[in-house]
Structure 1
């Protein structure tokens, strides 16, 4: 981590009785969030991304979310849902840097072929679409990654590829990350710190 100044600061974040969440996430740091199904992990990520009404405050590099236009905040603080949506026919239609060196490098890092970019999304597997959705997220060069079970449909080799790519991205760009995962082994591998939600939506620190 390049600095102790928070990249993302959350103060009293709450939504629908979930929280409050207080956290300061440094550049390059990954915070893992766990808890039982239905505890509110996804809702907290959506609150950070300012996709749903919520209480509390979110700050990026000490600038409150309110000073950003909504699209600018959501580009900088980018949310990857567990089931990403697609609005065009092929992956290439969603990737600005598909033909740039960085785009090729990320495709290779996730064991994806460039020919896949021009195949209809309906012909790709759920695991391929999941990896491509991560590339789409990184394509916008966000400063904060909000990842909701980004490896849920992947085998062990591709889980390792995703974990390595996210770690490299955060290290190279001093990006912060909030990673929701049900897998305790994964949380230990990817996170510098961990928080958990209990069945009542309360936030606790965990080892």
Structure 2
């Protein structure tokens, strides 16, 4: 197992002196109090923001050396809100692949199968979908670019429990069967513990603890993490 992303002493106005690696083909959960810098951290990984200091590498090459569109295809992001374009589901799904002329309708059906939506959803207007359906389409739209890395910013927090279960099954499939790498912010500590191989604990803009998820939850070494886990 080798690192796919390496963050070296990164700092900006929201995070400070952050240093960690994301291992290829794993799911890393990111936990911490509100305002601790979790979202700011993962936004750095596909250049939604840039650091003031430090370096970030993707597959051994500095991310600033990749064309921005290529980087964001390879490191995709799904937010808490679906943020779909107006139009049909298919128009949303094909946006990224169309940029590099790789779209076909079979891909659309395959993407909907992954998020457990029927193929007739391709022609549905997105504003006619429920919130949970829209979020599944947002996942599928990001997967349409065939990213190596998925960044999830509370992407399941607004969903009902049944849809959360479906999405967790999908995440485990993507990691275990397709070898994707996932970095997932979650406020649900049980979910973080259940899904994570590794966990990062952010507090007041600093990465206070990092390590294997089970070990980090079972044996926190800082008072801040102990308090956070205890609630």
Could you tell me the TM-score, scaled by structure 1's length? 0.89
Name the structure 1 match of 2:3: 6
Name the structure 1 match of 2:26: 29
Name the structure 1 match of 2:180: 175
Secondary structure in 2 matching 1:31: strand
Name the structure 1 match of 2:155: 150
What pairs up with 1:1-207 in 2 under 5 angstroms? 4-54=1-51, 55-96=53-94, 99-100=105-106, 103-198=108-203, 200-205=204-209, 206-207=216-217
Residues 2, 23 of structure 2: 8 Å contact kept:
yes
Secondary structure in 2 matching 1:130: helix
The one of the two structures with greater contact order (alpha-carbon pairs below 8 A, sep at least 6) is 1
Alpha-carbon distance between aligned partners in 2 of 1:162 and 1:73, rounded to the nearest angstrom: 24
Structure 1 unaligned blocks of 5 or more: none
Pairwise CA distance, 1:103: 4.4
Residues 88, 126 of structure 2: 8 Å contact kept:
yes
- How many residue pairs get matched? 202
Structure (1/2) with the larger helix percentage:
2
Alpha-carbon distance between aligned partners in 2 of 1:117 and 1:98, rounded to the nearest angstrom: 12
Measured against aligned partners, the alpha-carbon deviations of 1:110-138 in whole angstroms (never above 9, x if no partner) come to 33122222221111111111111011111
CA RMSD of aligned residues (A): 1.9
Pairwise CA distance, 1:105: 4.4
Structure 2 unaligned blocks of 5 or more: 95-102, 210-215, 218-231
Alpha-carbon distance between aligned partners in 2 of 1:43 and 1:175, rounded to the nearest angstrom: 22
Alpha-carbon distance between aligned partners in 2 of 1:78 and 1:108, rounded to the nearest angstrom: 19
Alpha-carbon distance between aligned partners in 1 of 2:185 and 2:17, rounded to the nearest angstrom: 17
Return closer, same or farther for 1:98/1:182 CA change in 2, 3 Å cut-off.
farther
Secondary structure in 1 matching 2:41: helix
Secondary structure in 2 matching 1:203: strand
Pairwise CA distance, 1:106: 4.3
